[in-house]
Amino acid sequence: MGIAFKGRFQNAKILDPKTGYEETTLTLETRWDPLTKRSVRVLDLPIKKLATMDIDEILKRAEDIPCPFCPDALDEVTPRFPNDFIEGGRLCFGEVCIIPNRLPFDRYCAVVVLTHQHYVPLVDFTEEQLFNGFSTACVFLRRLVEVDSSVRFFSINWNYLPMSGGSIIHPHLQIIGGDLPTHYQGEMIRGAREYRQQWEASFWDELIAKEKELGERYIGAVGNTVWLASYAPFGLGDTMAVFRERTSLLNLTDQDLRDFTQGLLKVFRYYQEFNYYSFNLSLYSGEYGGDDSFWVNARMLARRLLPPVGASDVSYFEKLHGEPIAYKRPERQCEEMRGYF
């Protein structure tokens, strides 16, 4: 077993005016991710819930901007794929419609419009909506590798509401694919490969076993998916879902996707209860045609503006040092989330 949860505490001393300038010790913890060795800082602030936010005000600001994903507009203003790639130009199933993204984040970049409804509150998403969205995205990916054999790396992603970077309120996923992984995807793929070579075991299998044994960050299992609070978090509410023994998004069964969407709905309820409102989500695939050392996993983060002035939750740390900051220990988050699983 090569899983190591490495961390180091450091103290900072201040004279605190709140206690008549008595010396007070503040603590921070640096943690290293067990797979990628990336360092993060964990500040355990005594916050349970963040203050509520006026979501209606955010929705109102977007009201006058025409939405390209509402049913009337979609057909007229959104692009189409060439017919020899997707017959008819768009891949649709039920209310789900997959169209090309106008912004070329990768060689193949698609938008999955999830529903006809312009705004869906976090707790109003249904299993069917999410299942249809993710499963149609997987159908698209299977078609992608069929038409272009140079595509080796892909993922399905979601920015929900503007606080997460989402520029359109209407719920939509984003698919990216090409011959280059993203930085973190590449780190995970290499890390899992090296772990397999060094320990002759699957990193993911051993991570799940170790977390289950420790019980501190193991939130629960839904069918074939295991839900963990990330040891080295990227930010607020960082939650990871691992699909047991699935190396590629192309291998996921309908039941896997049902398990995943059921777990996701539980996280949504937790996020809503803790006033998180907005999130980023990525569902990562291993290298297509590569070995079996990678297991498909998803990672999601809550995103919101911080009280009292509505500051961004991303600062010089993330942007200029590549070092994420978490304000709550994952062990505390795990305790909070367990009741929802």
Q: What is the CA radius of gyration of the chain?
A: 21
In the complex, minimum distance from the CB of residue 66 to Zn ion, in angstroms, rounded to a whole number: 9
Q: Which residue lies nearer to Zn ion by CB, 118 or 338?
A: 118
Strands across the sheet containing 278-284:
91-93, 96-100, 108-113, 172-178, 153-160, 278-284, 297-303, 239-243, 225-229, 218-222
Task: Supply the minimum distance, in Å, between the C-beta of residue 133 and Zn ion.
Answer: 15
- Binding part of the chain for Zn ion, among 111-119, 219-227, 236-244, 284-292 by CB under 5 A, reads 111-119
Residue 109: phi, psi to the nearest 5? -145, 115
Binding flag, residue 118, Zn ion (CB under 5 A)? yes
Coil vs helix vs strand at 199: helix
Interface with Zn ion includes 70 (CB under 5 A)? yes
Whichever of 97 and 267 has its CB closer to Zn ion, that residue is 97
**Helix, strand, or coil (residue 155):** strand
Token code pair at residue 136: 């149609």
The answer to whether 42 and 35 have CB atoms below 8 angstroms apart is: no
Number of amino acids touching Zn ion (CB under 5 A): 5
Kindly tell me which of 169 and 296 has the beta carbon lying closer to Zn ion. Answer: 169
Candidates 31, 42, 69, 188; binder of Zn ion (CB under 5 A) is 69
Tokens 């996280």 — which residue? 267
Residue 67 binds to Zn ion (criterion: CB under 5 A):
yes
Identified binder of Zn ion from the candidate list 41, 90, 170, 258, rule CB under 5 A: 170
Q: Which residues are within 8 A (CB) of 314 and not within 5 positions of it... i.e. 6 or more apart?
A: 235
Piece of 30-38, 59-67, 218-226, 324-332 that binds Zn ion (CB under 5 A): 59-67
Question: Smaller CB distance to Zn ion: residue 121 or 289?
Answer: 121
Q: How far apart are CA 130 and CA 125, in angstroms?
A: 7
Residue 301 CB, shortest distance to Zn ion, in Å, is 24
Element (H, E) at 142: helix 127-147
Nearest residue to Zn ion, using CB? 67
Tokens for 246, please give them.
């699935």
CB of 165 to Zn ion, least distance (A): 18
Binding residues for Zn ion, rule: CB under 5 A, are: 67, 69-70, 118, 170
